[in-house]
A and B are shown apart, each in its own frame.
Chain A
């Protein structure tokens, strides 16, 4: 089978899709296009710096380029550098696997105060995404709103002592920022009861390895079923853990009502409890880990609303969606794999190739594109001389990356 397929987004969804397509039909031309000069999406810029084992999935993705013949076109933003219409005209099939990256807003009075930051903003800055804003001063008592895995990742990183980051790929700037944070207390709040919190129990149990903390779990309540019992068991394991100087409090059934501030700075939060009472918690900053929405480079909402078969990811003839872009910001890497494998079957059943279409010829002569070999040079530069107990030192800027892509390991 032949045909030209462009996948927009080289995160796990795009890579798993290319893997499945080329496994079934090795003669397809599959191009992975990413707005960044580097592939792998949130595996590089979302999965925690101290969870390197999870990032090892990129070994499979490297094979998609090295052995299965997929091509990488990095540093090319669809919707900005090239329109979606032009891309569709050039390829037989276009698949949107662009993820979701914009932090959901808290949507309460005071939610836009200085000192309220989304988890995406903070994790991008921690993991040195080239478009990240600077890391802000969180003060001595950040409060995390949200009970998903992203909230727990954030908590763990903020709570870690410098030596607990050995073997990670947290960069020198963010490592220094963490070491000097001056954080004394971290409060984690969830809207649901603990029994229905979204975190994975193993993420909670991992906190029992932290050295510099003392953890309290307040009001975890009862478990109505086995699933909930696993969550409460995990919380019971960490309740009372440690006698370190950094205090961590877990609280539940608190619905955000208002961020309180004085002189434009956050001083606390008001919640409403399950019983409908108001509860105030003092804090110096608010970190929201309450989900993500789409970026505005692609008209996601309109495309999804008009989809021919949204569940299957079929948007329009020759246009498909997969991963977080299709489903919303839920689900782990394995979920994206299952999603991509199902979509590959559908695409293979529906593709009709027009040999006259130029495919990747559309990008001929465009300056600044980083190809897979360019990424390999960036990768080599980042891993050539890792120091200070790090497995990788990321190049934090777009210019630095594109230079390393051309010049190789000497450009740092």
Chain B
């Protein structure tokens, strides 16, 4: 399958995880990995499956590198109805009221433009005992299996 991993980050944790996921999937799939800051939401490709990896800042807001992407969705209002994505969050349960709020907002923005979310929005907790990749790899495997069914023929 053709997969695009897109990350939104401030201190780089989401970027590191995105690269880890890319390395994990590289052998079996065609995988690219880019910063959301360098991604144009009007140019998303319906033949690819998008894996978003995004942290949360401020008070449940998007990290700096995801903000231009969100603003561009708001402004351009692209039709994303053939775009499939799954989203993984990096957060910190110390911020319990707004835990994983950034990815929630990002998913809502995409869905409002018609994009189809695959799988649950799950998150790594920086205050928890697990390593991000230990949660993200099984998540990626599962959403990929679902996506292969929905997007049809594996590449």
Chain A residues in the interface with B (C-beta under 8 A): 16, 19, 51-54, 56-57, 59-60, 63, 167, 200-202, 205-206, 230, 333-334, 337
How far is B59's CA from A200's CA once the two chains are assembled, in angstroms? 10
Measured between beta carbons, the chain A residues less than 8 angstroms from B126 are 52-54, 56
Q: Which of B59, B64, B95, B127 contacts A334 (CB 8 A)?
A: B64
- Output the least CB separation between A229 and chain B (Å): 12
Structural contact, A51 and B16, CB atoms closer than 8 A: no
CB pair B92–A53 under 8 Å, yes or no, is yes
B129: nearest residue on chain A (CB-CB)?
A391
Apart from the given pairs A201-B58, A205-B59, 19 other A-B contacts in the complex at a CB distance below 8 Å: A19-B12, A51-B94, A52-B126, A53-B92, A53-B94, A53-B125, A54-B92, A54-B126, A56-B126, A59-B13, A59-B16, A60-B16, A167-B127, A200-B58, A202-B59, A206-B94, A333-B11, A334-B10, A334-B64
Between A and B, 13 residue pairs with Cβ closer than 8 Å are A51-B94, A53-B94, A57-B11, A60-B13, A60-B16, A63-B16, A200-B58, A202-B58, A230-B59, A333-B11, A334-B10, A334-B11, A337-B11
Would you call A52 and B127 a contact (CB within 8 A)?
A: yes
B131 / chain A contacts, CB cutoff of 8 Å = 59
Q: In the complex, which residues of chain B have a beta carbon less than 8 angstroms from the beta carbon of A63?
A: 16
Nearest CB to that of A230 among chain B residues?
A: B59
Complex interface: chain B residues within 8 A of A52 (CB): 126-127
Contact count band on B: 10 to 19
Which positions 82-141 of chain B face chain A at CB distance < 8 Å?
92, 94-95, 125-127, 131
Contact residue among A19, A54, A60, A201 (Cβ-Cβ distance under 8 Å from B59): A201
Find chain B residues with CB under 8 A from A334 CB.
10-11, 64
Rounded to whole angstroms, the CA-CA distance of A167 and B16 in the bound complex is 25
A63 to B12 alpha-carbon distance, docked (Å): 12
Contact mask for chain B residues 3-34; partner A; CB cutoff 8 A; 1 contact, 0 none: 00000001111001000000000000000000
Report the nearest A residue to B20, measured CB to CB: A63
User: How far in angstroms is the closest Cβ of chain A from B87?
Assistant: 20
Could you tell me if B13 and A57 are in contact, using CB atoms closer than 8 angstroms?
A: yes
A333 partner residues in chain B, CB cutoff 8 A = 11
- Please name all residues of chain B whose beta carbon is closer than 8 Å to the beta carbon of A19 when the two chains form the complex: 12
Q: Which of B34-57 contact A (CB under 8 A)?
A: none
B77 CB to closest chain A CB (Å) equals: 24
- Nearest-neighbour CB distance to chain A for B26, whole angstroms, equals 16
- The minimal Cβ–Cβ distance linking B121 to chain A, given in whole angstroms, is 19
Interface centre among A54, A56, A201, A333 (most CB of B within 10 A): A56
- Closest A-chain residue to B125, C-beta based? A53
Cβ contacts under 8 Å, B95 to chain A: 202
Chain B min CB distance to A388 (Å): 18
A332 CB, min distance to chain B CBs, angstroms: 8
Contacts of A202 in B (CB 8 A): 58-59, 95
* B residues less than 8 Å from A60 (CB atoms): 11-13, 16
Do B12 and A16 have beta carbons less than 8 Å apart? yes
Give the CA-CA distance A349 to B59 in the complex, in Å: 38
- A397: shortest Cβ distance to chain B, in Å? 29
Q: How far is the CA of A63 from the CA of B92 in the complex (A)?
A: 21
B119 to chain A, nearest CB (A): 24
Q: Cα distance A216–B114 when bound, in Å?
A: 47
Contact A53 B59 (CB under 8 A): no
Q: Within the assembled complex, what's the spacing in Å between the Cα atoms of A167 and B127?
A: 9
Q: Give the most central of A19, A51, A53: most B CB within 10 Å.
A: A53
CB distance from B36 to the nearest CB of A (A): 15
List the B residue with the shortest CB-CB distance to A15.
B12
Q: Are B59 and A57 in contact (CB under 8 A)?
A: no
CA distance A59 to B132 in the complex (A): 11
Q: Which residues in A have their C-beta under 8 angstroms from that of B127?
A: 52-53, 167
Q: CA–CA, A59 to B58, complex, Å?
A: 22
The residue in A16, A59, A200, A230 that gathers the most chain B C-beta atoms within 10 A of its C-beta is A59
7 A-B pairs closest in CB distance:
A53-B126, A53-B92, A334-B10, A53-B127, A56-B126, A57-B11, A334-B11
